[in-house]
A and B are shown apart, each in its own frame.
Chain A
Amino acid sequence: MKNDGMTFKTIQYLNEHGDLAKGYTPSVSSEIVLRAYKKMIVTRHVDERMITLQRQGAISFSMSSLGEECCSVAAAAALSPDDWIYPQYREVGAIFWRGFSIQDFVHHMFGNAKDLSKGRQMPNHFGSRDLNVVTVSSPIATKIPHAAGCGYAMKLQKESNISVAFFGEGATSEGDFHAGLNFAAVLKVPTLFFCRNNQYAISTSLDHQFHSDGIAPKGEGYGMKTYRVDGNDFFAVYDTVIKARKHCLEKGPVLFEAMTYRMGAHSTSDDPSRYRPEDEQEQWKKKDPVLRLRRYLEKQGLWDDKKERQLWEEVKDEVTAAIEVAKKTSNPSLKTLVEDVYSDIPDTLQEQYEELKQFFPEGS
C-alpha cells in the first residue's frame, strides 16, 4: 500500500479476513449489509459484461469500479434518498443502490433512445433526476463546487438533506477541488466531499500527484471536519458516512478520504500493466472489498457458496436480457441533436436542423 508512512489515522472495523475489530458492533442491520453486498456483485458483474461488450465492438467505451465497489455502495446506503449525489464515473454502485435498474444502465451504455442522456455522452456518464443522482460529466472535479452550491441551496431551503461529491484523488489537484472545499467551508454548507483515493489517476501514482500525507490533511487545511477510512471496509465507510452526514447537517462540510485501489484499468482505453507492478495488484486483490464482505457474511451464517452462485446466475441472466433489449432499441431521433441546447429550439438552430434533415430523410 502506497500510503506507508501516512500519519493521519485510518478508520477500519472489518479486516481482510472478514473479522470485525474487537469491541466493534455494527450499527447497520444485516438486511442492509446483505442488500449492499448484492449491489456490489451487480456492479462488478455489470462492469465485466460491459468491458466484454466494448471488446466486441457493441459499445464504444467502458469504465469499471473493480475494487472500489464498497465506497459507492456503502456511502449510498448510509445516505438518505433525498441527499443529492454528484458522482464521478466510478460510482455506478451508488446509482444501483438508489434503484437504477440494470436495464436503465445498459440502455445508457448503448446511448440509445432509452438512455436518459439521449446518447449525448460517453458510456459510464449516468445520472437520474428521479434518484437525485446528478449526471456524470467527463471534466475532473468540476462537480465539486456544484455540490457545494447544491448544499447551500438545501440550507437556504431549510431541508435536512446533504449533497455529496464523489471524486478520485487525482481530482484534488484541480482548482475546482480547492474552490469547492473553500466555498463550502466558508459558507458552512451541508456537503460531504467523498474522495476515493484509489492510488492512480490513469497512470499517475500518488507520488506524482501530491506531496502531502494523502488528501485528509487538505480538509483540515480548509478548517473542515475530516475522516480517513479504509474504503474497502463496508462498516468503516457506512458508519463514518452516517457520522459525516450528521456533522454536515449540524456543523458544516466534511472531507472524507476512502483508501482503496483501482483494481482494474482506468478505462477500456488503458493498459495498467505498462505502469504498475503485478505484485502490487496481487497485494490489493487480498484486500478486495467484495471478498472481504463475503467472508464476513459467511462467518455470520448469512451467506454461502450456493447463494453466491445463485446470485451471479440471476445477475448474469438479467444483464443478458437487458443487453438484448438495448441492442434492439433504436438510436435517439435526429431531432435530439438540436433539443435541450436551450429550453426552446432557437430559430437559427431550427434552420440548421431543417438543412440536416435533407441528408437523413429517414431519420437517424
Chain B
Amino acid sequence: MNIIQALNQTLHQQFTKDERLITFGEDCGSFGGVFRVTEGLQEKFGEGRCFDTPLCEQGIVGFAIGCAQKGLKPICEIQFADYIFPAYDQIVNELAKMRARTGNQYTSPVVIRTPYGGGIHGGFYHSQSPEALFLHTPGLKVAVISSPKDAKGLLTSAIKSEDPVILFEPKRIYRAVKEEVPEEEFEIPFGKAELSREGNDVTLVGWGAQHHQNMQAAEEVAEEYDLDVEVINLRSLNPVDVETLTASVQKTGRCVVAHEAPKTGGFGAEISSLIMEHCFLHLQAPVTRCCGLDVHFPHTLEEEYLTDAYKVKHALLKTVEF
C-alpha cells in the first residue's frame, strides 16, 4: 500500500466511525482530489460530507474553522502547500489562537492536509516546504508524513486531536513508497519520533521525503566507510520529541540534520539549538545542517538544489571527520 492509499483508507475508516467528519477542498468532491486522497468518499458518504469548494484557500480554512466551532470535524485539503499562504492569516490569527483567545470557550480542531516538497519538477510553486513558517505559531500541531504507516497513524491522531493540526504530505513519494499497513485503526502520537536505524557514530535527523534520502545515505556510508549512523524520522515537528533526539546525540556525540527547505530559519536551526541546550558536553563536533539553499525552489536545477543522499553522505563524513 502506498501513502495515497493509506490516507484514503484512513479517511474511509474514520468517516464510517465518526459522522462528525467532513472533508473538502479544491477538486476534493467527486473527482477525489488531484492526488486522489479523497477518492470514493463522496460516493460513499454523500455530498454533504465530501465536497468541492470554490478556489479560495482562505475560504477553505476559514470555513473549516466555523464548521469545527459548531461541532463538526473538518479535514480540509490545501491542494499544494505552496498555495497555503492566502490562508496564512486564518491559520495564524484564528485557527491557532481560537482556544486561547476565547478563554477555552470555542475551539477549532481542524485538520489541514497539504502536499508539500520538491522532486516533481514543480518549480517555484509546486515544490516548497513551508513547515518552519507554522512552527513559530503556538497553538498548532505540525507533522510530516514519510511512509504509508506514518500516513495512517498520523492522520488518525490528527483526526482525534482536540487541537488544530497541519499535516504535510510528501507528494514526491506519495506513490513511490510502499509497505504493509495494518487494516485496523492505529495512532502514531504527536511528539513521538521514529528511530528508523540504530547506530553509534552519528545521529541523522530528518522528516518527510528527506527521511528516505537520509536512510539511503546511512546505508551507503555503512557500506563504504563502515560508519554506524543512527537515523531519526522526526514525524512530528510540533510537539517535537526532544527525548529521542537527546538520547541519541548523547550517545553518538554528533548530529546532522537535513531538510529540503532553505537553511536560514529552517527547523534544522531549532534542532541544532535543542541539541546545544541538551547535549553540549556530549558533542564531539558542531551540529551540521544539510539544507536547501536560501533561494526560491528551482525548476531546471531541481536536482542540484535538493538535499539528496549524496549531499547527506558528505555532511555525515564532514561531521565525523571534524
Is B149 part of the binding interface, using a Cβ–Cβ cutoff of 8 Å?
Answer: no
Q: A146-B94, A183-B54 are in contact. List 5 more A-B contacts (CB 8 A).
A: A116-B103, A152-B67, A179-B62, A183-B63, A343-B162
Partner of A142 from the list B71, B93, B104, B191 (CB cut-off 8 Å) is B93
CB <8 Å contact, A142 and B101: no
Total A-B residue pairs with C-beta atoms closer than 8 Å?
A: 149
Is A263 part of the binding interface, using a Cβ–Cβ cutoff of 8 Å?
Answer: no
A145 and B103 in contact (CB under 8 A), knowing A175-B58, A186-B54, A346-B239? no
CB <8 Å contact, B59 and A153: no
CB <8 Å contact, B67 and A150: yes
Partner of A179 from the list B51, B59, B103, B107 (CB cut-off 8 Å) is B59
CB <8 Å contact, A342 and B139: yes
Q: How far is the CB of B141 from chain A (nearest CB, A)?
A: 8
Partner of B67 from the list A139, A149, A186 (CB cut-off 8 Å) is A149
Residues in chain A within 8 A of chain B (CB atoms): 84, 115-118, 120-121, 125, 127-129, 134-135, 137, 139, 142, 144-154, 156-157, 163, 175-176, 178-180, 182-183, 186-187, 339-343, 346-348
A145 and B106 in contact (CB under 8 A), knowing A341-B138, A347-B239? no
**Residues in A whose Cβ lies below 8 Å from that of B300:** none
Residues in chain B within 8 A of chain A (CB atoms): 22, 48-49, 51, 53-54, 56, 58-59, 61-72, 74, 86, 89-90, 93-94, 97, 99-107, 138-139, 141, 162-163, 191, 239-240, 242
**Residues in B whose Cβ lies below 8 Å from that of A121:** 101
Chain A residue nearest to B56 in the complex (CB): A179
19 A-B pairs (CB sep. < 8 Å): A127-B106, A129-B106, A135-B103, A139-B93, A139-B94, A147-B66, A149-B66, A150-B69, A153-B66, A157-B71, A176-B58, A176-B89, A178-B59, A179-B56, A182-B56, A183-B53, A339-B104, A342-B139, A348-B240
Chain A residue nearest to B59 in the complex (CB): A179
What is the CA–CA distance of A105 and B80 in the complex, to the nearest angstrom?
Answer: 43
Q: How far is the CB of A131 from chain B (nearest CB, A)?
A: 10
What is the CA–CA distance of A183 and B66 in the complex, to the nearest angstrom?
Answer: 12
Q: How far is the CB of A177 from chain B (nearest CB, A)?
A: 10
CB <8 Å contact, A183 and B70: no
Q: How far is the CB of A164 from chain B (nearest CB, A)?
A: 12
**Residues in A whose Cβ lies below 8 Å from that of B67:** 149-150, 152-153
